[in-house]
Amino acid sequence: MSDDLATRCGHHFARPELLEQALTHRSWAHENDGDDNERLEFLGDAVLQTCSTVLLMERFPDAREGELSRLRSRVVSTRALAGVARELELGPQLRLGVGEEATGGRTRQRVLACAVEAILGAVFLDAGFGACPAVVKRWIGGRVDALQRQGHRGWKDPRSRLQELTQRLGKGTPTYRVTETDGPAHALLFAVEVEVDGEAVASGLGSSKREAFREAAEAALDAMEAR
């Protein structure tokens, strides 16, 4: 893997094979009898939760537990992490199997988000926890800054914010429906669509229905506020 990618990620690996594994989807590993990134993703998710929580507690000293939880869900959601992956230009670097490649895996939000978590897990194994907070701040610091600029409005759950917006516009209450459930029982992925005034305006993905609802609401807010 290139030094340019390591530079974009914010960490130069003493063991570059860890970065290579972090970018290896299980479809590639299955076809090539190699190691995939799922264990690194599992580790990286835990590290990300800790680092993002500390960062948010520093930036929002007056926020209560529930408010911090909502803030964290916005900056480390599947959608947010896929955005980080696009900024890091991870898509072209992913190692995908033939089928995953053919079905658009390089742009799929879940695949991209998992790769981001796996890279953080790789950083942890390469250099210890001490190297991780700076990497996380580099990745999500801009999003945290944006939440600070929004003030208390940014602390609200996106579903509440979307409902306030639609009611203000005279469009009633948004409705949500699960359109697809995929994956094994221990790692389900839910796809949700949100409708406003009878029109489908956005969709979201999440490892729980609650997360998918939030993702869909956040996407709907972006779409409606951009009009």
Q: What is the pLDDT of residue 209?
A: 87
* DSSP, res 77: S
Question: Using CB atoms within 10 A of its CB, is residue 10 exposed (0-12), middle (13-18) or buried (19+)?
Answer: middle
62 catalytic residue (yes or no): no
- Told to judge if 35 belongs to the known catalytic residues of this protein, a careful annotator would answer no
Residue 187 has pLDDT above 80, yes or no: no
Q: Which of 36, 117, 126, 218 is catalytic?
A: 117
> At a CB cut-off of 8 Å and minimum separation 6, what does 129 contact?
47
Average pLDDT over residues 192-208: 89
Q: At what angle do helices 109-127 and 78-88 cross, to 10 degrees?
A: 70
Q: Which of 36, 41, 45, 193 is catalytic?
A: 45
According to the model, what pLDDT value does residue 140 have? Answer: 96
Higher pLDDT, 188 or 138: 138
Least confident piece of the model among 34-38, 122-126, 135-139, 167-171: 167-171
Q: What angle, 0 to 180 degrees and rounded to 10, lies between the N-to-C axes of helices 209-225 and 65-75?
A: 70
pLDDT band at 137 (very low <50, low <70, confident <90, very high): very high
In whole numbers, what is the pLDDT of the chain averaged over residues?
90
Whether 133 has a pLDDT exceeding 80, the answer reads yes
Predicted pLDDT at 154: 62
DSSP H helices in the chain: 3-9, 16-22, 26-32, 38-59, 65-75, 78-88, 98-102, 109-127, 132-150, 158-168, 209-225
Residue 223 has pLDDT above 90, yes or no: no
Which range has the worst mean pLDDT, 104-113, 134-143, 214-223?
214-223
What is the pLDDT, as a whole number, of residue 122? Answer: 98
Residue 153: what pLDDT?
Answer: 60
Find tokens 């009633």 and name the residue: 172
Domains along the chain with CATH numbers: 3-153 (1.10.1520.10), 159-225 (3.30.160.20)
pTM of this prediction exceeds 0.85: no
Long-range contacts formed by 58-67: CB under 8 A, 24+ apart? 59/144, 59/147, 59/148, 60/147, 60/148, 60/155, 63/155, 67/155
CA neighbor of 93 nearest in space, from 7, 175, 193: 7
Q: What is the pLDDT of residue 25?
A: 95
Instruction: Give every CB contact of residue 209 below 8 A, 6+ residues apart in sequence.
Output: 178, 190, 192
Q: Return the higher-pLDDT residue of 80 and 121.
A: 121
How far is it, in rounded angstroms, from Cα 143 to Cα 149? Answer: 10
